[in-house]
Amino acid sequence: MADEPLVLGIETSCDETGVGIVRGTTLLADAVASSVNDHARFGGVVPEIASRAHLEEMVPTIQRALDTAGIKASDLDGIAVTAGPGLAGALLVGVSAAKAYAWALDKPLYGVNHLASHICVDQLEHGRLPEPTMALLVSGGHSSLLLSADITTDIRPLGATIDDAAGEAFDKVARVLGLGFPGGPAVDRLAREGDRKSIAFPRGLSSAKDPAYDFSFSGLKTAVARWVEAKRRAGEEVPVADVAASFQEAVTDVLTRKAVKACKENGVEHLMIGGGVAANSRLREMAQQRCDKAGIVLRVPRPGLCTDNGAMVAALGSEMVWRNRAPSSFDLSADSSLPVTEVSVPAATIEHGDLHAAAHLALG
Ligand code: KG4
Ligand code: ZN
């Protein structure tokens, strides 16, 4: 609809310079410039390299998005940007660019949360999110179960990883198997040729006394490394496809079991899965089977929208405008550890009482 908010979103929390343009829940452009190849030889993202790449790619990527969408910057209703969490220097490039464009164009600025954006992006594929929606966010930087009651103001963290993120575990296991970085897609491909039941790798935090919604992947990663090492020491060939399939099975088993449990125990009928690991084919398959069995509606955006991109930021920015949420002020700063409860900066709705309390606190 032409009267729906037209918003440009900028994402620079890690190694992707993403610029998306969204009208309402319709995606008009999704331009991404990735510096992933510049990091590959280091086996992980190098923050300084990522920041420099953002700086070089920012203006051309914005221009590309505007051209694809066929709009002028002056047509926009707002500029949204990831304010955190993420790499501090990388976030700063995006926040500075967003401020510059918003200031020059005289448009409202929305500093939003990266995790909330990962959830909101699903609106571009499946329409507005039901309230409440359970979100399982799994990527290289995060693994969390979040209950979204209102995607613009009310996200409650139920659980998270206590050590490695799910994607990190994929990347580390890929390194052990000599598959390169990032490892997730390579493990996913190789696992299709392996037997997922061949090795019984441990399922972290899965006993009755463990926290129900938290995750742990560090023990699993170590178990895989030890298993491979023992084979190599014995001079035996490592069945890499079987290791990949069995490891992937352990990760997806825990993720989907806990996500479905969280839905059932909180009376939530919709589950969305987002973040880079949501591209995993076995995770999608297992989640679908378990949701079908439990009567839960599963929503997973297409892989291109699951990994970091600007469209997800634009999607949340557009929703903020649509719901009349307060924009950020121009002293917005990047916050590398922005909590997920802060969907936008400043908090989108400040009750009068809260404002009073905040003033008292500030004045001592
Ligand atoms: O969301 P994302 O692009 O960036 C952040 O970490 O925020 O996620 C990247 C992560 C990497 O760890 C990558 O290995 C993993 O997502 N990944 C996958 C797959 N595709 C990407 N993991 C498992 N299976 C995949 N198909
Ligand atoms: Zn992400």
Domain boundaries, the chain: 6-121+309-363, 128-304
- Position 1 scores a pLDDT of 65
Contact partners, residue 92, CB within 8 Å, separation at least 6: 51, 334
What the block records as the tokens of 187 is 């493990």
User: Is CATH 3.40.190.10 what the domain over 6-121+309-363 is classified as, yes or no?
Assistant: no
Cβ atoms within 10 A of the Cβ of 304, count?
11
Which residue has its alpha carbon closest to ligand 1 atom 16?
Answer: 276
Which residue has its alpha carbon closest to ligand 1 atom 19?
Answer: 184
Contact partners, residue 53, CB within 8 Å, separation at least 6: 15, 17, 33, 35, 38
The structure's pTM equals 0.91
Cα(164) to centroid(ligand 1), Å: 13
Question: What's the whole-number mean pLDDT along residues 271-290?
Answer: 97
Q: Residues lining ligand 2 (ion), CB within 5 A?
A: 139, 308
93-108 tens-digit pLDDT: 999 999 999 999 999 9
CA dist., res. 119 & res. 116, Å (int): 5
- Position 359 scores a pLDDT of 43
**Whose CA is closest to 334, among 102, 115, 144, 93?**
93
Query: Strand, helix or coil at 320?
Result: helix
Cβ atoms within 10 A of the Cβ of 320, count?
28
Compute the radius of gyration of the chain from its Cα atoms: 21
Taking the mean position of all CA atoms in its chain, how far away is CA 334? 17
Which residue has its alpha carbon closest to ligand 1 atom 13?
Answer: 184
Ligand 1 mutation target, pool 307, 309, 336, most atoms within 8 A of CB: 307
Angle at 275 between CA 270 and CA 277, to 5 degrees: 100
Report the residue count for the chain: 364
Of all atoms in ligand 1, which is nearest to the CA of residue 274?
Answer: 1
Cα(304) to centroid(ligand 1), Å: 11
Ligand approaching nearest to the C-alpha of 186: 1
Cβ atoms within 10 A of the Cβ of 258, count?
22
Q: What is the pLDDT of the chain when averaged over all its residues?
A: 93
Ligand approaching nearest to the C-alpha of 118: 2
CA dist., res. 329 & res. 102, Å (int): 11
Query: Strand, helix or coil at 40?
Result: helix
Q: CATH top-level class for 128-304?
A: alpha beta
156-181 tens-digit pLDDT: 999 999 999 999 999 999 999 999 88
What are the two backbone dihedrals, phi and then psi, of residue 81, each rounded to the nearest 5 degrees?
-150, 145
Angle at 246 between CA 240 and CA 247, to 5 degrees: 85
Of all atoms in ligand 1, which is nearest to the CA of residue 13?
Answer: 7
Which residue has its alpha carbon closest to ligand 1 atom 10?
Answer: 140
Cα(277) to centroid(ligand 1), Å: 4
- Position 37 scores a pLDDT of 81
Query: Strand, helix or coil at 151?
Result: coil
Cα(114) to centroid(ligand 2), Å: 7
Question: What's the whole-number mean pLDDT along residues 301-313?
Answer: 95
Cβ < 6 A, ligand 1 pocket? 14, 139-141, 167, 170-171, 182-185, 188, 275-277, 279-280, 307-308
Beta bridge partners of 110: 80
CA dist., res. 348 & res. 313, Å (int): 15
Secondary structure (DSSP) of 85-114: SS-HHHHHHHHHHHHHHHHHHT--EEEEEH
Cα(118) to centroid(ligand 1), Å: 13
Pair 155, 343: CB distance under 8 Å: yes
223-263 tens-digit pLDDT: 999 999 999 999 999 999 999 999 999 999 999 999 999 99
What spatial distance separates the first Cα and last Cα of the chain, rounded to whole Å? 48
Question: What's the whole-number mean pLDDT along residues 49-67?
Answer: 94
Pair 242, 269: CB distance under 8 Å: no
Which residue has its alpha carbon closest to ligand 1 atom 3?
Answer: 307
Least confident of 37-46, 207-216, 339-348: 37-46
Q: According to DSSP H, which parts of the chain are helical?
A: 36-39, 47-69, 88-105, 114-120, 123-126, 166-176, 184-191, 218-233, 240-265, 281-294, 303-306, 310-322, 352-363
Query: Strand, helix or coil at 261?
Result: helix
Which residue has its alpha carbon closest to ligand 1 atom 23?
Answer: 184
Ligand 1 mutation target, pool 39, 139, 192, 284, most atoms within 8 A of CB: 139
